[in-house]
Structure formats: C-alpha cells, structure tokens
C-alpha cells in the first residue's frame, strides 16, 4: 500500500528536500506552502501534489483538511513550516516579529495537528500506524544572544510535540521531533535578516560543511520509513563544526597534536 504524507513548508529548503526524499522512497506526497508558484515548480519536479495554504490562517487549514479527507489517506504529517525574524536582544525585540514567530511556529502547528488528527487516526486504524513529525531546531534546546524570540517560538513548538506524544499514548501514532542546528539553505537566514544577503552569507562564512536541507530530509525519511513500533522521539542534528548554538568552528577542521 502506498502511503501518503503531507509536508508543510514545501516550497523551499528542508520542506522541499523532504518532498524529494519521500518521493524517492515511494511515498505519495502533498506539498503544502503559501507560495503557489514555487509549489508548482516542486510539483512538476517531484510528482508531488501541491496545495497552497497559509497555516496561520484557520480557513486555509480547514480547506486543506477538507481536501485531504476527500482525496485519500493521511499516513504522515511533516511539519516544517515556520521560521525566524530578527536577531534582536530581548530589550530591543520587535513585538510584531515575536508575534509572527509564535503564529508561524506554534499556532500554525496547533491548527494543522488539530485539523488532521482525525485523518491520521483513520489511517492508523487501517494501516497499523500513522506519523506526526515536527522539524523544530536546536534553538528549542539552547538559548543564545539575539535568539530569544526564535528560542521561545521553537521551544513552544517542541513542547507542543512533547505534550502531544503524552496525549496520544496508547494510540498507534508516532510523534517524532527532528531538531537541526546550522543548516545552510537559501532562504532561512536571508528571511531572518530582512533580505540582507551579505549578512546572511556571513552566518555560514568559513564554516566547514554546515548541514544541508538534504541531510535533514534524509533523517526525516529514515524516521518515517522505520518500522512502525520504532519512535525517534528526538533527533538532534548539528554539523561537526558546531558544538553548540553559539560555538562554531570557522576554517578547516584539523586534528590537534
């Protein structure tokens, strides 16, 4: 039986890479994001089915859930959508940025899960299990200067996943969290730094082999393709050059003598 996954944030970065990784391992995929034009490109390149929706809008989430219920099973939901805005200190933080991060990372996630959980239960009843997978961040685990808004939002999303796992105890629905560290994608830092390409480039400058979107997508595909009784509660991923959120090696990695 072919399983179907819903992947959010699918128009770029980790979401797009996840669509490709799951399609390569035999999944049907519904690719969800706000940007219909970018989604159309993903659809054409991968054979996924595109559905444009903004998870911060309840009407969009309701439309997505209704369409999913009419078109087939939902065996897995991969929640990638979210993001960061700004690197301000707490005292300088812009409330509108913090509000957007909470809406995008926490409330959007709650809306999605609440809407599709009945569909996941239906799939689990017929297929033996179903999956929820949340891409959070090491920012949910460790605070760093200038990161408080994103730290708070991603910690909130992580706590949602942790509580959901407890609430679903006894049901055959896995709750998986993947928390990446530094991932070099085209848009994350650029969006966070308000379109300043030079500043975004400096985030990754001289860091040997930061994670890629494909690296994260490979772990996501592994987690979803693992036997149904195996739950990867939390996978923390960092490049070898990153020992903590604030501690990056720049320049070649060399053995000390």
Give the pLDDT confidence of 169-194 residue by residue, as tens digits.
999 999 999 999 999 988 888 888 88
Q: Say if residue 147's pLDDT is above 80.
A: yes
Q: Give the pLDDT band (50/70/90) at residue 9.
A: very high
Contacts of 136 (CB under 8 A, 6+ apart): 154, 157, 158, 161, 177, 178, 179
Q: Which residues are catalytic?
A: 150
b or e along 115-141 (b: 16 or more beta carbons within 10 Å of the residue's beta carbon)? bbbebbeebbeeeebbbbbbbbbbbbb
Q: What are phi and psi of 68, to 5 degrees?
A: -60, -40
Would you give the end-to-end CA distance of the chain in angstroms?
A: 55
Give the pLDDT confidence of 50-106 residue by residue, as tens digits.
999 999 999 999 999 999 999 999 999 999 999 999 999 999 999 999 999 999 999
Q: Say if residue 1's pLDDT is above 80.
A: no
Locus of tokens 């707490």: 90
Locus of tokens 């560290």: 181
Mean pLDDT score, 211-240: 97
Question: How far is residue 84's CA from residue 91's CA, in Å, rounded to a whole number?
Answer: 17
Mean pLDDT score, 215-243: 97
Which pTM does this prediction carry?
A: 0.95
């Amino acid at each position: 039986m072919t399983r179907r996954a819903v992947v959010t944030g699918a128009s770029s970065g980790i979401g797009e890479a996840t669509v490709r990784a799951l399609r390569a391992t035999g999944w049907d995929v519904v690719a969800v994001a706000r940007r219909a034009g970018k989604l159309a490109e993903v659809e054409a390149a991968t054979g996924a089915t595109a559905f444009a929706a903004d998870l911060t809008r309840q009407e969009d989430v309701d439309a997505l859930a209704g369409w999913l219920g009419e078109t087939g099973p939902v065996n897995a939901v991969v929640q990638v959508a979210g993001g960061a805005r700004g690197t301000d200190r707490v005292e300088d933080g812009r409330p509108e940025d913090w509000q957007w991060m909470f809406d995008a990372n926490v409330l959007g996630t709650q809306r999605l899960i609440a809407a599709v959980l009945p569909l996941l239960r239906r799939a689990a009843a017929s297929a033996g299990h179903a999956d929820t997978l949340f891409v959070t961040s090491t920012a949910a685990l460790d605070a760093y200067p200038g990161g408080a808004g994103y730290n708070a939002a991603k910690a909130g999303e992580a706590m949602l996943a942790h509580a959901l796992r407890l609430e679903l105890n006894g049901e055959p629905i896995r709750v998986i969290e993947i928390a990446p560290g530094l991932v070099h994608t085209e848009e994350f830092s650029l969006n966070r730094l308000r379109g300043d390409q030079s500043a975004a480039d400096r985030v990754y400058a001289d860091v040997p082999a930061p994670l890629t979107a494909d690296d994260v997508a490979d772990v996501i595909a592994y987690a979803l393709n693992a036997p149904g009784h195996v739950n990867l509660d939390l996978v923390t991923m960092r490049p070898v050059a990153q020992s903590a959120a604030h501690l990056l090696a720049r320049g070649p990695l060399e053995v000390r003598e």
